[in-house]
Structure 1
Amino acid sequence: MGKKSRKRKSAWNIFFRPIKIILFVFLLAMVIGCLAGGVVFLKYQDEIMACKEKADSIISQTSRTDFSQPMDTRVYDSEGNLIGTINSGHYEYVPVKEISENLQNAYIAQEDRRFYKHHGIDYKGLLRAGLVFIKNKGVATQGGSTITQQVIKNTYLTQERTIQRKITEFFAAPRMEDKYSKQDIMEFYCNTNFYANRCYGVSEASRYYFDKEAKDLTVWEAATLAGISNNPSRYDPVAHPDTSKWKRDQVIDNMALCKFITKEEQENAKAQPLTVAKVYEGGTKENYQTSYAIHCAVVELMKNDGFVFRYVFPNKSSYDSYKEEYQEQYQAKSDMIRKGGFEIHTSLDSRLQAVLQDNIDTHLKGFTEKQDNGKFALQGAAVCVDNRTGYVVAIVGGRGTDDEYNRGFLSRRQPGSTIKPLIDYAPAFETGFYYPSRLVNDHLFEGGPKNSGGKYYGIVSIREALNRSLNTVAWQVLTDIGVDKGMSYLGKMHFVGLSYMDNGNSSMSIGGFTEGARVVDMAKGYSVLANQGKYSNKSCITSMKSQYDGEIYEGSQADERIFTEDIAYMVTDVLKGTLDKPYGTGSGLGLNVPAAGKTGTTNSSKDTWFCGYTRYYTTAIWVGYDNPRAMPGVYGKTYSGKMWHDFMTEINKDLPPLDWDMPSTVSFYNVDSRGEKTDQETGNKDLFSSVAEAAAKADSRKWKEEEARKLKESQDQMNQAASDAARQTLEQASASLQALIAEFNGMDQRDSSTDDKIASARSFLEQLNGTETYDSLKQALDEAVSHVQSLPKQADSEKPQEIGPGMTKPRETTTPVFPGDEDPQSGEASGAGPGDDDSQAEAVGPGME
């Protein structure tokens, strides 16, 4: 019995001995491992804790939007039509329910077979990978990272293989699985993987390789994509079709091994040839609409960040500092938009765009000269604003649609006389000391500008000066109110490109900018006049959505008051004369609806403009060479003006002919010969603003100066009138005396009237006493009288003298009337003196009735 017991005991000992040894070795290994781990932890405690803190920070700040790439930025017109795409890879995020289960199963079979069983870290997988690593003598053939760890790596960490990255993944993965579901993590994984050939995310990869949606992938297609993402450069089916097919088949085998597909499906999938569609949709070429829309979107993002825009600068340092900050911010926001993720909706009307583009192309088609870069040498640009909304609705940046350079908002050119209403006359009207009927002396100043054509008109009204575009008057007006004051108004209207070197530069009055003005700024500036003096902060953006933040356009900026309603109305009324007055520089360009506008032509016609508006639209048009050069015979009225006329006629033709409503504080008043308001009926009337007059009176010092000026002008006018009357009297006396002297010298006998004539002659001579001609005329008269007195005297007879057979000369019974004599019955002059012209009506000033 004892023997048998010892035999059984010996058998059990034999059976358990290896197990004991294994357990002992395992426990020993664990102890050694723990000790080693403890030593490693103590040695690298700081590095390990830093990795943990980094993992905690990542997960605490993570958001679902972190797991998507920016989609293409898309631009839409006013009707919601797509007009441009800024390609950022055509990325599109797709939810897991729209991702084929074949692809999800392929990833699980190939990358993480225990995906639905572990909690971020697959310890069995790590052990298996470690044993294989040892077995292969240090060659890693199996990865230990879970899909969760790969999502963390793809999104938050680098692809560099370091122990720090692996430790960070180790700490972060379980926390991510606490925050997101397995389905969420699979969705993140498929949308963050890179599939070679600029394909980010499964949606673009499915389109590029197989021309289908991600939800429609077959087994072999899903296996192909799973293989590519494992190592995009090695398993790219375009560059390396053989290795890609080998990897695809490996994934298919693993799917079969994991029972995701049957044996038959496995064989069928591997039998499929590896073919790819290579469907690539490039981004659309930027056009005039999209380039301007992106620019406006950039500006809106800068506004959202609180960037303070400036337009007028006191000195070079402030200008340079602002320019540097602006360019840095602008570039950052531009890169952001072009990287993708935005949906931009605009006010741009594609129908109006086509009409405006065709208008410019048609009018300039005769100019075929090309630049070295292949572009037309002579160019044109135009911008149209809808006055009812304040939005830009059309912008043309050049001839044709192939030129990506948008002169509508990128180019700065000298504006010529089109700037006068905005910098000279409207600001001057605001002071109250200038008004349409005020008289100014148009003459050449030393050091001042010259008028076009070298003609000067003397005393003219402001109304006429603006219609005729007289440079000297504009120069006098801006000099009087102050160049900086005029520039401040341009700054309020957001004119880009004003330089500190323009400060105090009186040539600004006629468009002599250091840098120039943009077409879009001119259009927006004139729209202020069309909209009762208010500037609209709207550009062309009506909505802007971010892929991550939703609607980000803050379109509630209120309009800014630039000019009073009175001044906008009065300037508009004056500018109507540019089109309908015979001497207006835009004569003949009137429309079928009330309109106002202004021509502009720079020296040698290097830049030609027309800016004008109706109640409905404002349009500014520029024509010139990219490299400025003279255009003989071309003026603002010729090409720019005709383009404006044809385009505005077309877009206004079906609209009611609405005029601007005159404000209650603006009235027509009688105007005297000095251009001033008077209560007397003169037959001449013009506009005056009580608001502007109140503003003038508020400036007591200036008001007194102006009153003194008016009083002096009145006294000077009276003195001049008296001087003119005296001069005319002397001229008439001299003329009458010379006529009598001539008559005396021609007589051959005296008659009864001779003595009266001699008396009259001596009377005229007396009036000339003290003049330069007195002595010579006295001598001539004395000689003539001496001659007459030496003549025989004709005998008087009551009988009529016979002058021919049966005819007699009647006796003279009336006294001849000489210039200056008055009819005793009527009290009016019965003769017209030199210079009188009864056929001419009294001259009426422009705009006066």
Structure 2
Amino acid sequence: MGKKRKKRKSAWIIFFRPIKIILFVFLLALAIGCLAGGAIFFKYQDEIMACREKADSIISQTTKADFSQPTDTKVYDSEGNLIGTINSGHYEYVPFKEISENLQNAYVAQEDRRFYKHHGIDYKGLLRAGVVFIKNKGVATQGGSTITQQVIKNTYLTQERTIQRKITEFFAAPRIEDKYSKQDILEFYCNTNFYANRCYGVSEASRYYFDKAAKDLTVWEAATLAGISNNPSKYDPVAHPETSKWKRDQIIDNMAFCKFITKEEQENAKAQPLTVAKVYEGGTRENYQTSYAIHSAVLEMMKNDGFVFQYVFQSKSSYDSYKEEYQELYQAKSDMVRKGGFEIHTSLDSKLQSMLQENIDSHLKGFTEVQDNGKFALQGAAVCVDNRTGYVVAIVGGRGTDDEYNRGFLSRRQPGSTIKPLIDYAPAFETGFYYPSRLVNDHLFEGGPKNSSGKYFGEISVREALNRSLNTVAWQILSDIGVDKGISYLGKMHFAGLSYMDNGNSSMSIGGFTEGARVVDMAKGYSVLANQGRYSNKTCITSIKSQYDGEIYKGSSADERIFTEDIAYMVTDVLKGTLDKPYGTGSGLGLKIPAAGKTGTTNSSKDTWFCGYTKYYTTAVWVGYDTPRAMPGVYGKTYSGKMWHDFMSEINKDLPPQDWDMPPTVSLYPVDARGEKTDQETGNKDLFSSVAEAAARADSIKWKEEEARKLHESQAQMVQAASEAARQAKEQAAVSLQELITELNALDHRDSSTDDKITSAKTFLEQLNGTENYDSLKQALDNAVSHALSLPKQDNSGKPQEIGPGMGRPGESTAPAFPGDDLPQSDGTDGSQAEARAPGME
């Protein structure tokens, strides 16, 4: 009996042991969870309580009016004047009974299946989403938000995914369910959702996509709208029909799973083609100012989200990946702005805007050809930056004000030679191995570009090469410093038109981009030179205010150093010559105050530019056809240059003529014939930077190579000078010999001077030994000597001696003169003679 009882006791112990273990583990996990929860609460209790207080504030003040359309987004100029209202569309609030039951069911099936069972928070849904989150190793594939929480987010909170927003929703959702019925909440949801293409609310979405009232939506139409509002930028049926149809069919399947529709209705709905009517009833028309303001505001909002902008790409994959991420976030933020509820304050000056618009329209009024779309065929665009603040103050995107396409920031065109200072010369000056007086050989070479004029100048200074806009010199310079190095500077200046295909593309040196450059980027780039080498991150946005979150941006971006102050000053000094040198490509476009600039003309004049600046303003102007085509006789100096000149003259006329201050590390030094610094006074001086020279010396290998180059060029120049002197001496010897031969042939008698003439002639002939005309001259001299020696001799001792080649006056030395004695002597530092005779020099 004892054994049996013991056996039964052991069986009970075996039976209860796993239960005890499970219970212990459960209690332990519960204890750990409570401790962890408590620890988290105590650590973040301030943030949690702040979220709760915010939720209480929201619910205590909420009214049904809150769930209609937000206020229109408004744009203001620099004076606080309203310059544009961005409407989300013709909004109409739809009551619950006028919303299709199909749409109600679609939302419940897709977004919140326990909508009619929970009280604002779906704890089962949260648990399910958490389990999936853990299974997917931290990747969220299912949301835990209820329709109630989404209504709160859409109406009172931002779309940003933050823990504070989720906690606020968590506290607010049960409270709002106490205040409103399930029908009210679903009604709010349908009226506060955004459906892409400026469709805010179900009424406008139903009209735009299907040309019908919200109450008449079919199953597939309702599923389509439910899919769009889930992610407007991703499931927009106009922009992305394939992904939109996939999402629609997924929602139809969920509706069938939840028994809202039958199997037959499911199959019929999925069989319908995804067609949309696109019945658009426009809101406020955007202009050049408002379109750029919205674009710039979107970029600032992306920055607020921590998006890291990228401008230079190493491969196609990195480019494509970035582009996809950029476009998705950009579209989302753009939709948010156009959805309404923002005030955008800008630096745009409406007076300057009108002046710039009038300038472009008046200069191009003679070109009346019109495209099929009704727009002028020949177009122009311009952007003006205030150098004192770094802000864009005017942007014109085309002729007239009826064209919503803003070429000022949307169009990318080949910049031609206007890119040279930014990608070639300033980066090259930064190395210290290039400077304004340095000589570069301008010549046509295999695989390189041609100069637009067809002229080549041989050894020419960098300064003059830039003023003349010589392509071969720019090409050589960028090839020397490295194409990717030059491109990196454009990246630092936020050029948005760079492609991975531009890497190593030496055509970039003369503006041969894969995609092109924007007018606004060129203006901002040249403003770097005007502002001592600093890039301003400012666009035109001074403040962004949200209807719900107050001020979300106030312009305070720090400037970025791109070029040293020395280099910006030196390049500016060179670019002044474009305007005031007779050979400058912008000659005649100078202002009454110090100014600098650069012309740009692409092949066949398909794109023409002028970019220039004063101490106060920088303006970039582009002229060309929307569909690029040749413009014979049109150059950067003509229309673009004249537009720049007239506009800049007007806006600078009342400002004092302020010049740029020379940095203390920049000095004027005498330069020799090779363009190098020298201690000797040569009459020529140019700018040199001690900062750039220090940078050059820091590159010891390159520095040694450069010193070797200078030595080689110096020796070569000395050899060339000696060769030139010898050539001139031979030419003079030939002339003197010919004169003596003529004199000998003209004699009718011999006297004491005849032998001297013969001796001198033979000396000159000896100097010509080896030349191509030596034999003919020797034969001529032999004949002349024979003639002279055959003549009768006459005594002339009492007569004055004749003065002839090699003969002195009475009492002077009669030693023969050596060829070259009457020519200027070169000491190797003055190359004026050689330079004046160099091929191609004017």
| CA-CA distance at 1:418 after TM superposition | 0.3
| CA-CA distance at 1:765 after TM superposition | 1.3
| 8 Å contact kept, 1:423–1:490 | yes
| CA-CA distance at 1:170 after TM superposition | 9.8
Where does residue 812 of structure 1 map in the other structure? 800
| CA-CA distance at 1:730 after TM superposition | 1.5
**Deviation digits for residues 340-384 of structure 1, max 9, x if unmatched?**
111101111000000000000000000000111111110000000
Question: Which stretch shows the higher mean deviation, 781-790 or 599-608?
Answer: 781-790
Partner SS, residue 566 of structure 2: helix
Where does residue 6 of structure 2 map in the other structure? none
Where does residue 584 of structure 2 map in the other structure? 584
The structure-2 alpha-carbon separation of the partners of 1:680 and 1:786, relative to structure 1 and needing over 3 Å to count, comes to same
The structure-2 alpha-carbon separation of the partners of 1:176 and 1:698, relative to structure 1 and needing over 3 Å to count, comes to closer
| CA-CA distance at 1:816 after TM superposition | 3.4
Where does residue 323 of structure 1 map in the other structure? 323
Question: CA–CA distance in 1 between the matches of 2:107 and 2:214?
Answer: 18
The structure-2 alpha-carbon separation of the partners of 1:832 and 1:287, relative to structure 1 and needing over 3 Å to count, comes to farther
The structure-2 alpha-carbon separation of the partners of 1:177 and 1:535, relative to structure 1 and needing over 3 Å to count, comes to closer
Where does residue 211 of structure 1 map in the other structure? none
The structure-2 alpha-carbon separation of the partners of 1:712 and 1:836, relative to structure 1 and needing over 3 Å to count, comes to closer
The structure-2 alpha-carbon separation of the partners of 1:490 and 1:828, relative to structure 1 and needing over 3 Å to count, comes to farther
Where does residue 441 of structure 2 map in the other structure? 441
| 8 Å contact kept, 2:72–2:87 | yes
The structure-2 alpha-carbon separation of the partners of 1:831 and 1:308, relative to structure 1 and needing over 3 Å to count, comes to closer
| 8 Å contact kept, 1:72–1:90 | no
| 8 Å contact kept, 1:819–1:831 | no
**Deviation digits for residues 371-419 of structure 1, max 9, x if unmatched?**
1111111000000000000000000000000111111011111100000
**Are positions 1:657 and 2:657 aligned together?**
yes
| CA-CA distance at 1:771 after TM superposition | 3.3
Question: CA–CA distance in 1 between the matches of 2:70 and 2:291?
Answer: 19
Where does residue 356 of structure 1 map in the other structure? 356
**Deviation digits for residues 269-326 of structure 1, max 9, x if unmatched?**
xxxxxxxxxxxx9732111111111111111111111111111111111111111111
Question: CA–CA distance in 1 between the matches of 2:113 and 2:571?
Answer: 75
The structure-2 alpha-carbon separation of the partners of 1:750 and 1:584, relative to structure 1 and needing over 3 Å to count, comes to same
| 8 Å contact kept, 2:666–2:688 | yes
| CA-CA distance at 1:841 after TM superposition | 12
| CA-CA distance at 1:789 after TM superposition | 1.4
| CA-CA distance at 1:675 after TM superposition | 0.5
Question: Which stretch shows the higher mean deviation, 680-689 or 717-726?
Answer: 717-726
The structure-2 alpha-carbon separation of the partners of 1:843 and 1:787, relative to structure 1 and needing over 3 Å to count, comes to closer
Partner SS, residue 678 of structure 1: coil
| 8 Å contact kept, 1:87–1:340 | yes
Where does residue 632 of structure 1 map in the other structure? 632
Where does residue 232 of structure 2 map in the other structure? none
Q: Which structure 2 residues correspond to residues 289-438 of structure 1 after superposition, within 5 A?
A: 289-438=289-438
Q: Percent identity?
A: 76
| CA-CA distance at 1:777 after TM superposition | 2.0
Q: Which structure 2 residues correspond to residues 427-826 of structure 1 after superposition, within 5 A?
A: 427-796=427-796, 798=798, 812-813=800-801, 815-816=803-804, 818=806
| 8 Å contact kept, 1:381–1:408 | yes
Partner SS, residue 480 of structure 1: helix
Question: CA–CA distance in 1 between the matches of 2:559 and 2:85?
Answer: 31
**Deviation digits for residues 616-675 of structure 1, max 9, x if unmatched?**
000000001111111111110000000000000000000000000000000000101110
Could you state the TM-score of these two structures normalised by the residue count of structure 1? Answer: 0.69
Aligned letter for 1:633?
G
Question: CA–CA distance in 1 between the matches of 2:173 and 2:291?
Answer: 44
**Deviation digits for residues 245-270 of structure 1, max 9, x if unmatched?**
xxxxxxxxxxxxxxxxxxxxxxxxxx
Partner SS, residue 738 of structure 2: helix
| 8 Å contact kept, 1:423–1:478 | yes
| CA-CA distance at 1:554 after TM superposition | 5.0
Aligned letter for 1:596?
A
| 8 Å contact kept, 2:729–2:820 | no
Q: Which structure 2 residues correspond to residues 58-457 of structure 1 after superposition, within 5 A?
A: 67=67, 69-88=69-88, 165-168=115-118, 283-457=283-457
| CA-CA distance at 1:746 after TM superposition | 3.1
Question: CA–CA distance in 2 between the matches of 1:553 and 1:782?
Answer: 98
Larger radius of gyration between Structure 1 and Structure 2: 1
**Deviation digits for residues 524-568 of structure 1, max 9, x if unmatched?**
000000000000000000000111111111532211100000000
Q: Could you list the runs of 4 or more consecutive aligned residues of structure 1 that deviate by over 4 angstroms after TM superposition? A: 58-68, 89-93, 156-160, 162-173, 175-185, 191-196, 231-234, 817-825, 827-837, 840-846
The structure-2 alpha-carbon separation of the partners of 1:621 and 1:828, relative to structure 1 and needing over 3 Å to count, comes to farther
Question: CA–CA distance in 1 between the matches of 2:609 and 2:555?
Answer: 31
Question: CA–CA distance in 1 between the matches of 2:511 and 2:113?
Answer: 67
**Deviation digits for residues 179-218 of structure 1, max 9, x if unmatched?**
5899999xx99x969999x9xxxxx99xxxxxxxxxxxxx
| CA-CA distance at 1:176 after TM superposition | 7.7
Question: CA–CA distance in 2 between the matches of 1:195 and 1:753?
Answer: 121
Question: Unpaired runs of 5+ in structure 2?
Answer: 1-51, 98-102, 122-147, 150-170, 195-199, 202-212, 217-280, 837-842
Question: CA–CA distance in 1 between the matches of 2:173 and 2:428?
Answer: 71
The structure-2 alpha-carbon separation of the partners of 1:845 and 1:385, relative to structure 1 and needing over 3 Å to count, comes to farther
Question: CA–CA distance in 1 between the matches of 2:449 and 2:352?
Answer: 39
Where does residue 226 of structure 1 map in the other structure? none
Partner SS, residue 395 of structure 1: strand
| 8 Å contact kept, 1:732–1:834 | no
Question: CA–CA distance in 1 between the matches of 2:687 and 2:444?
Answer: 28
Question: CA–CA distance in 2 between the matches of 1:719 and 1:844?
Answer: 11
| CA-CA distance at 1:745 after TM superposition | 2.4
Question: CA–CA distance in 1 between the matches of 2:439 and 2:621?
Answer: 31
| CA-CA distance at 1:67 after TM superposition | 4.2
Aligned letter for 2:432?
G
**Deviation digits for residues 659-712 of structure 1, max 9, x if unmatched?**
000000000001011100111111110000000000000000000000011111
Question: CA–CA distance in 2 between the matches of 1:764 and 1:820?
Answer: 17
| CA-CA distance at 1:92 after TM superposition | 12
Question: Unpaired runs of 5+ in structure 1?
Answer: 1-55, 94-110, 112-142, 146-152, 199-203, 206-230, 235-280, 799-810
> What is the aligned residue count?
638
| 8 Å contact kept, 2:423–2:490 | yes
Partner SS, residue 710 of structure 1: helix
Question: CA–CA distance in 1 between the matches of 2:725 and 2:420?
Answer: 39
Aligned letter for 1:283?
G
| CA-CA distance at 1:749 after TM superposition | 3.2
The structure-2 alpha-carbon separation of the partners of 1:385 and 1:819, relative to structure 1 and needing over 3 Å to count, comes to farther
| 8 Å contact kept, 1:357–1:400 | yes
The structure-2 alpha-carbon separation of the partners of 1:604 and 1:818, relative to structure 1 and needing over 3 Å to count, comes to farther
Question: CA–CA distance in 2 between the matches of 1:373 and 1:506?
Answer: 37
Aligned letter for 1:758?
I
Could you state the TM-score of these two structures normalised by the residue count of structure 2? Answer: 0.69
The structure-2 alpha-carbon separation of the partners of 1:570 and 1:406, relative to structure 1 and needing over 3 Å to count, comes to same
Question: CA–CA distance in 2 between the matches of 1:823 and 1:544?
Answer: 94
Where does residue 17 of structure 1 map in the other structure? none
Aligned letter for 1:607?
D
The structure-2 alpha-carbon separation of the partners of 1:823 and 1:319, relative to structure 1 and needing over 3 Å to count, comes to farther
| CA-CA distance at 1:511 after TM superposition | 0.5
